Amino acid sequence: MYVFCYGSNNPHQLSERLTTTIPDIMERSISCTLQNYQRVFAYRSRKWNGSVASVVPVDGAECQGYAVLLSPEEIKRLDVFESYPIMYDRVTVQLMNHQTNDLVEGLVYVMNLRDEFVEPSEAYITACSKTFSTHHYLRNQETFKNNELDYDYDIYDGVSLQLIKTIKVTASIDFLNLSKE
């Protein structure tokens, strides 16, 4: 089953959580969009020292990310890191696969505890930018001139669903340690 990644679950973090390699994660991944959902930030994470990401249904919104094909055993391992079913629930969704322009079924972790908003930390935004970078890399590898892409990253309050600010982020795939051959 595909699992949609939109927050800090970039290939580096997933490879550590699932005890595999980044190339293995990348081989099983597709660039995709979760339609009619908005990425938001809520809950005060002690680990990340700020809010963490979730998605909420919003008509017309799009949340870009990537999805990785995981075994049932790998999903159970990931459940532990996502504090499923206490902090996050798993929801079955349809994802727009950018490689085929078809819908594929996947799971997305949706936060149960959206009761407080604080600014996400710089470290968390960096982790999320790696996920966004992976989305763009998988979608169009030619987009990355010199392995970088500048983009706007919206910070939505997960409680009020209001746009708090837009920050400039430089996406890079350097963390993937891909061969340039």
pLDDT digits 0-9 by tens, 121-158: 999 999 999 999 899 889 887 666 556 778 899 999 99
Specify the 3-state DSSP secondary structure of 12. Answer: helix
Residues of the chain with pLDDT below 50 are 180-181
Is 14 domain-assigned? yes
pTM for the complete prediction?
A: 0.94
Q: How many domains does the chain have?
A: 1
CATH of the domain at 70: 3.10.490.10
Inter-residue long-range contacts of 90-93, CB under 8 Å, 24+ positions, other chains counted? 93/4, 93/34, 93/37
**Amino acid 147: pLDDT:** 66
Is 181 domain-assigned? no
Is 180 domain-assigned? no
**Amino acid 181: pLDDT:** 39
**Amino acid 70: pLDDT:** 98
Is 10 domain-assigned? yes
Is 32 domain-assigned? yes
Is 136 domain-assigned? yes
| Containing structural domain, residue 6 | 2-175
**Amino acid 26: pLDDT:** 95
**Amino acid 31: pLDDT:** 97
**Amino acid 8: pLDDT:** 97
Beta strands per DSSP E along 29-156: 29-45, 50-69, 88-97, 102-111, 148-156
